Structure 1
C-alpha cells in the first residue's frame, strides 16, 4: 500500500540556505553543462522528502553524475515528474497560484516566453504574496533570499509540493 505523507518544508529550506552559495560534494555540479538550478532544486526537494524514485527514464533519482533521471536536472522533466498523474513513489506537486506558494515549493521561470529554463526554490513567502515578497534560493546565478521580482522573466509557473508518496 502506498500513501501520501507530509513534505518536510523546513528541511528543504534549511538545505537551500546551507548550499545556496556552495556545492554539496555528494552531487555533481552541472553549472558548466547547462546549469545547476534543477539539480539544486532536486537536492532541496530530496532533503524534504527523503525518497527517490528509481524508475528508469521517468523516475526522479541521483546516483552519480552519469546515473540520474532526466527529472533530477532538467527543468521540464522535474515539472513532469512532480505533476505526474500516476501514483508512484516520491515527492508530488501541483500547479498553484503565487499566493498558494509555501517555503520548500518550486517556481519555474521562462526568460524567453517559451520553454521554462530556471527552477528556484522558495525559501520565504511574505504578505501579501507578491513577487517582491517571495524569496528564493537558486544555483546558476547563485542566490539566497532573492526576491522573485528581481528576475527578468516572461512567464512564471508555481509548483506546490503536496506531499510524498511512500512505498
Structure 2
C-alpha cells in the first residue's frame, strides 16, 4: 500500500460548490437523520480520489442501498478514518492548532454523542473557533465560523494521507 497526498484544495472546492446544493450523484439524507456526514464524505472523497469498498467496515457510496455506514454516520466515519489500514483516507484526532482546510470537525450538542460533521474550508493564522470556517449540510452553510455553533464537545480530525494501491 502506498501513501498518497490528500488534495485539500479539491476537498474545499467541492465543499464550496455543494454547500448550498445537492450533488445529484448522491442521495440527500436530510429526511433520514441529516445530510451532514454524507456531505463531508463527498468532500473528503473529492480530496482523496478513492473509496474503500470493504463491506460493512469500509467507506464507500454507490447508491442509497449500497453504501458503508461510515459514509453517512458520524461515529462510523470517525472510526473509519482513525483506524483505516486499507485503501482510502486516513485521519488522526488532533487539536485545533493542527487542523487545515479539508479536515473534519465533529460536534456533540446533546450529552456526549457526536451528531454533526462539518468540513473545514478556512483556518486563520492562529486557529481559534472564531477563525476556523466550515461548510456543512443539514443546516446548509459555507464559511461559517465554528464559534457560531452551540456544542458541548468538539473533535478535530486531521486527514494525514490517503492509502492507495
- Give the TM-score, by structure 2 length: 0.99
Distance 1:147 1:158 in 2: 14
CA deviation after TM superposition for structure 1 residue 128, in Å? 1.7
**Structure 1 position 127, deviation (Å):** 2.4
Q: Which residue of 2 aligns with 1:58?
A: 57
Q: For the residues of structure 2 that align with 1:104 and 1:113, how far apart are their CA atoms?
A: 27
Secondary structure in 2 matching 1:114: coil
Deviations 1:17-76 (A, max 9, x none): 000000000000000000000000000000000000010000000000110000000000
* CA deviation map 1:79-105 (0-9, x unaligned): 000000x52000000001101110000
TM-score scaled by structure 1?
0.97
Alignment pair present for 1:13 and 2:12: yes
CA contact (8 A) 1:13 1:103 kept: yes
The corresponding residue for 2:23 is 24
C-alpha distance in 2, partners of 1:67/1:36?
A: 16
Contact 1:111 1:152 in 2 (8 A): yes
* Alignment check: 8 A CA contact 1:113 1:153 kept: no
Ranges of 4+ aligned residues in structure 1 off by more than 3 Å: none
Cα separation, 1, equivalents of 2:156 and 2:34: 20
In structure 2, the residue matched to 1:163 is 161
What is aligned with 1:100? Answer: 98
Counterpart for residue 89 of structure 1:
87
Structure 1 gap segments, 5+ residues each: none
Return the alpha-carbon distance in structure 2 between the equivalents of residues 74 and 166 of structure 1: 23
How far apart, CA to CA, are the structure 1 residues paired with 2:95 and 2:111?
A: 18
- Please say if residues 136 and 145 of structure 1, whose CA atoms lie closer than 8 Å, have aligned partners that are also in contact: yes
Residues in 2 aligned to 1:22 and 1:159: alpha-carbon distance in whole angstroms: 24
How many residues are treated as equivalent by the alignment?
Answer: 165
Q: Choose from 145, 148, 162 the match for 2:146.
A: 148
